Amino acid sequence: MPIELLGRRPEDFVWATGIENTFVPQTRPGHRALDEYQLIGHYEHWREDLALVRDLGLKAVRWGVPWYRVEPFQSGDYDWRWTDQVIPYMVEELGVTPIIDLMHYGCPFWLRREFASAEYPTAIASFAEAFARRYAGLVRWYTPLNEPIVTALYCGQRGLWPPYLRSETGYVTVLLQVVEGIIRTAAALRAVDPGIRLVHVDASGLSRTAREDLHVLAKDEQSRTFLPFDLLTGRVTPDHPLFPWLVRSGASPDQLAAMARQPVPFDLMGLNFYPQWSTTQLYIDRRGRLAYQPVDQDGAGFIDLIADYWQRYQIPIMVTETSARGGEEVRARWLEASVTAIRTLRSRGVPVLGYTWFPLFTMIDWRYRFGRGPVEEYRLELGLYTLDGAGGSSRWRATPLVEQLRSYVTDPDGAVGNLGVGESPPLARV
């Protein structure tokens, strides 16, 4: 069943899942290629994998395009053979609406210096336009780039992924490049079809502290969490709290002003939240130094986090990734707690219009890139299905979460209820 309407009624609520689609194909000594589709076998088993979405009764799936394989050798030279099979199968045979990740970390090999290349914003926008023209009538929901914060952190500050920059200047360089790419991608998509829907997706988080004297630091950390979307919505002007830091870290005031003049009209604010990783507490350690630790292991900050984003941006929200690390019992408790939290938020008038359990099935831990063991040692179980090594007729074993989620999907009134007072106007039909 495709997405028909996003609005206040529980039957309009979008239940979704996603397949982990991180692509970092470049290698160097000690760094292996990380292509989730290849490592989990999705390139060969895509029909069986995607059929799980339909069997769950879900309306939508977050699914990424491996740009480096579609445009492998040079700019403008496309190979659509695989996507020409997969996308019609999703839409026409399964009746599932794809929310397409156009960029999920990885650039093609021909783009030297990757995100730091001056050609990157034009290159990704050209790819987006070509994709949208190719699949016009089949695809109308897009995420221009998944998780700008993580991209800037891994590629610009920590030096873990290409172009391997290691500084705050590197962080700002990559962040501004990907933001410029999103701006151009959004314009290219809307030029193909003004009815295309844009879902911004980023890693959400809250910074907290119990110490009064650290509140200003927590506020600064929180500002950095909001920064990508502040840039994309035209909020970064000279009075923004991070404007001085951006300029001192290499940002051009003229570039920031140009970004502020062209805010991107997103239809949904997509938030990725994991209870073990998404809320950080600032404290002073035994050596008297500032330190950070994850808190709210049970996800107690989930409601406050979503409410904070709604108050700040006033854009309808979709939970675009959530799950929990741990055994099936741990995941089942979080599934129940997170859906209950969404019902609470909706009853208060916070327009949470969709929910994505992510990923659908077993993924490969990103640590594989830096490890030496076989891929089987890096299987990460966050999903609804587990890779079945018993050699049966199906490669997937359903966990109890499958029936648990299906019970919510079939009873949306009981699961998430109506949107309360002060709801956002519904989005038009896709």
Segment 233-281, tens digit of pLDDT: 999 999 999 999 999 999 999 999 999 999 999 999 999 999 887 778 8
Distances (CA, A) of 374 to 368, 370, 377, 378: 8, 12, 6, 8
Q: What percent of the chain has pLDDT over 90?
A: 82
Buried-exposed string 388-422: b where 16+ CB fall within 10 A, e elsewhere: eeeeeeebbebbebbebbbebeeebeebbbebeee
Look at residue 258 and give its three-state secondary structure: helix
Both tokens of 184, joined, read: 């151009």
Identify which has the larger pLDDT, 293 or 92.
Answer: 92
DSSP state of 157: I
Q: In angstroms, rounded to a whole number, what is the distance separating the alpha carbons of residues 134 and 62? A: 19
**Cα–Cα distance between 15 and 60 in angstroms, integer?**
7
Instruction: Output the pLDDT for position 2.
Output: 47
Higher pLDDT among residues 7 and 161, named by residue: 161
430 pLDDT band (50/70/90 cuts)?
A: very low
Alpha-carbon distance of 216 to 233, in angstroms, equals 24
Q: Which residues contact 372 (CB under 8 A, 6 or more apart)?
A: none
Structure tokens at 57: 């009764």
Instruction: Report whether pLDDT(157) > 50.
Output: yes
Domains, the chain, ordered by start: 10-415 (3.20.20.80)
Length of the chain equals 430
Using the predicted structure, report yes or no on whether residue 427 has a pLDDT greater than 70: no
Tell me: pLDDT of 191 over 50.
Answer: yes
pLDDT at 242: 95
For tokens 């109506």, the residue is 418
Candidates 421, 420, 423, 418; CA nearest to 12 is 418
Q: What would the mean pLDDT of 29-45 be, rounded to a whole number?
A: 97
- Whether 59 contacts 2, CB under 8 Å: yes
Contact 319, 356 (CB under 8 A): yes
Give the C-alpha separation, 90 to 52, whole Å: 11
Rounded to an integer, the average pLDDT of 3-12 is 74
Amino acid occupying residue 323: S
Checking if the pLDDT of 425 tops 50, the result is: no
| Pair of tokens at residue 405 | 């989620």
Q: Taking residues 131-143, what's their average pLDDT?
A: 97
pLDDT, greater one: 91 or 285:
91
Could you give the C-alpha distances from 384 to 140, 309, 361, 387, in angstroms and in order?
A: 26, 27, 6, 10
> Which comes out higher in pLDDT, residue 81 or 391?
81
State the residue for tokens 């030496």: 372
Task: Give the per-residue pLDDT at 105.
Answer: 95
> Tell me: the pLDDT tens digits for 281-299?
888 899 989 888 877 666 7
Tell me the range of 212-226, 293-307, 394-408 where mean pLDDT is highest: 394-408
Task: Band the pLDDT of 391: cuts 50, 70, 90.
Answer: low
In the numeric block, the tokens 């709604």 are attached to 310
Q: Is the pLDDT of residue 379 over 60?
A: yes
Q: Is 352 strand, coil or helix?
A: strand
Tokens 């840039």: give the residue.
231
Give the pLDDT confidence score for residue 392 in this predicted structure.
Answer: 67
Tell me what the pLDDT averaged over the chain comes to. Answer: 93
Q: Give the whole-angstrom CA distance, residue 152 versus residue 43.
A: 28
- 3-class DSSP state of 272: strand
For 142, residues 6+ apart whose C-beta sits below 8 A from its C-beta are: 99, 100, 102, 128, 132, 189, 196, 197, 198, 199
Q: 222: pLDDT confidence band, cut at 50, 70 and 90?
A: confident
The predicted model gives 317-327 an average pLDDT of: 96
Instruction: Give the β-pairing of 14-18 and 60-64.
Output: parallel
Does residue 389 register a pLDDT over 80? no
Reported confidence tier of residue 352, pLDDT bands at 50, 70, 90: very high
CB 110 within 8 A of CB 73: yes
Using pLDDT thresholds of 50, 70 and 90, give the confidence band for residue 301.
confident
Say which amino acid occupies 172: V
Locate 267 and state its tokens: 């239809």
